[in-house]
Chains A and B, each alone.
Chain A
Amino acid sequence: MAEPARLPDAPLLEGEDVTFAYGRTPVLEGVDLSIRPGEFVALVGPNGSGKSTLLRVLLGSLPAGAGRVRLFGQSPEHVRDRGRLGYVPQRPVLASEVPATVAEIVATGRLSRRGWWRPLGVTDRDAVEHALSSVGLDGMADRPVNQLSGGQQQRAFIARAFASEPDLLVLDEPIAGVDAESQRRFRDALVHLVEEHGGAVLLVSHELSAVAPDLDRVIVLKRRVLFDGPPAQLTEEGVSLGVHRDDLPLWLEGLR
């Protein structure tokens, strides 16, 4: 594995023995995980299990205390081509003193992909339009974002991540409290990204029922990785992701 980045199936995102602590409180201990091209992976865990911290370490906004993190084969803070990463934050807070339209917000997704100094061209407009229709917001491009419902806003943020045509899409609890219609759109969009573009998805969520049949792997985190395997295997252990909506959250709470 001298040059992992050049192998076609090399992991897009990889953590080896990742450890992190806030002061003396350990948050992550010896976490191993990897996401390969074309994989649809869910990361679950009870509240306070270190999911958000793990994401921040993997994406380079927090330095790992120990262990090794590789994003696109490089250390995350040195990744030059960050346009390959799409990111949907947990409830992003947009400044809204000045109105901004859905199209204006989604178009910012193109900036890191193609260089922020270049004017937007036809390809960019197409990508924005495509991203909007893949989350079911076509016809809403000129609406101010702050006049959309919560679910529509969240879809706009997902479209912003889609607009960069990412190789790896990371979503932090993107559908908490979102209506059923938005959840269905959301699932279709993720499956489309994986199947049509060969992109990989890492989804951090409590609510996997909408995507359960499509997942390749589920990773269960509680300070360390408790489970990493296909959903069917988790079902064998008596935890259902899809049939009973409450199974997973209840089981996760039991892990505390």
Chain B
Amino acid sequence: MTAVTLPYPFEFLFMQRALIASVAVGVFAPMIGTFLVQKRMSLIGDGIGHIAFAGVGAGLLASGAAAVSGPGIWPVAFALVFAVLGALGVEWLRAKRKASGDLALALFFYSGIAAGVVLVSLGGGLNANVLVYLFGQPLTVDRTELVVIVSLAAAIVAAMLVFRRLLFSVVTDEDWSRVAGLPVGFANNVLAVVTACAVVAAMQIVGILLIAAMMVLPVASGQLIARSFGGTMRWAVAISVASVIAGLAASRIWGLAPGGTIVLITAGVFAVISIAKRGVAPRLPLPVDEPVEQEA
């Protein structure tokens, strides 16, 4: 793999790898995020990130025990297993109403981060290997990691295209979908597994601590602009991809942390759009017919 000719700041191979991996994340994160926001599970990405952190700890420990030269694929592989199981666990608790969505998340969230802390300390403490996954570092993505990220991204986008109608119905009106005979449990599990894959694929780019932001912030901007669910998703992807490219360029030019820079730009886009919307189009009053009475 050699560098193609691209202008500064993307002239080097490491920047081009970073660009491909980051754009992939920029595409799939808000696609999933649109469904998560509608389901009022905006923070699930954060919770699953914490569970993935336990997987990273276990992977680093396992690679140490296997006496291989570097961590290699181990942290990502373990993180994927932990994240998928954790996501299914959260969904199971939520669906069985053994805990509210919020509480189910907290249970896994804190168990995950606690297990991560213990496993990382066993594996040699907070060193550079760990920090990459916590804060993200697209500039050090190597060829194998790029292949993993792009493959996961392709699988996630394909799943989203196949399941989007079912997922839309279930996240928008779960009760009705159940009566209509749609496979509600299956749909929720699909969303959980895809979210877990997305967290792991994005972990090295924006970092575990900022993954949920990439899923949610572009969607927050998109729903201000668009009038439909599909439109919100398309705007969110466009804003996210643009933010990713701008963030990478800025981080190279000014030597900033790439993950944080990307997320700050998506937040900045949201601020600008919401201020502009308020200035240009003040909220119109809703059409009124007689009020719908509430039954006690």
Contacts and interface: CB of A to CB of B under 8 A. Distances in A.
B38 A98 contact: yes
Interface stretch (B62-70, B95-103, B263-271, B287-295): B287-295
Contact of A149 (B165, B172, B178, B288): B288
B290 A179 contact: yes
Interface string A55-79: 0000101000000000000000001
B168 A101 contact: no
A104 B286 contact: no
Contacts of B231: 99
B34 interface: yes
A60 to B, nearest CB: 8
Interface stretch (A28-36, A82-90, A246-254): A82-90
B232 interface: yes
B171 interface: yes
Contacts of A242: none
B229 A99 contact: yes
B278 interface: no
Interface size class of B (residues with CB under 8 A): 35 or more
Nearest to A119: B165
Contacts of A239: none
Contacts of B171: 95
Contacts of A105: 172-173
Contacts of A108: 165, 168-169, 172-173, 177, 180
A85 B180 contact: yes
A182 B289 contact: yes
Given A79-B181, A85-B181, A92-B175, A104 B40 contact: no
Nearest to A164: B180
Contact of B289 (A92, A147, A149): A149
A255 interface: no
- By secondary structure, the A interface counts as loop
Q: Which of B37, B39, B226, B287 neighbours the largest number of chain A CB atoms within 10 Å of its CB?
A: B287
Contacts of A91: 292
A91 to B, nearest CB: 7
Interface in A102-156: 104-105, 107-109, 111-112, 116-117, 120, 142-144, 147-152
A150 B290 CA distance: 8
A109 B172 CA distance: 13
Q: Which of B165, B166, B231 neighbours the largest number of chain A CB atoms within 10 Å of its CB?
A: B165
Contacts of A164: 180
A126 to B, nearest CB: 17
A100 B37 contact: no
Given A98-B34, A99-B232, A100-B228, A59 B165 contact: no
Given A104-B230, A112-B182, A95 B289 contact: no
A177 B38 contact: no
Contact of A97 (B38, B178, B227): B38
Interface residues of A, number: 46
Contacts of A151: 289
A111 B228 contact: no
B162 interface: yes
A144 B284 CA distance: 13
B228 A82 contact: no
Interface string B209-234: 00000000001001100111111100
A111 B172 contact: no
Contact of A87 (B166, B172, B179): B179
Contacts of B172: 94-95, 100, 105, 108
23 contacts: A81-B181, A82-B179, A82-B181, A83-B180, A83-B181, A85-B179, A85-B180, A94-B173, A95-B173, A97-B38, A97-B223, A98-B229, A100-B229, A104-B168, A111-B166, A112-B180, A117-B162, A117-B166, A120-B165, A142-B227, A149-B286, A178-B292, A179-B290
Interface of A: 47, 59, 61, 79, 81-83, 85, 87, 89, 91-95, 97-101, 104-105, 107-109, 111-112, 116-117, 120, 142-144, 147-152, 160, 164, 176-179, 182
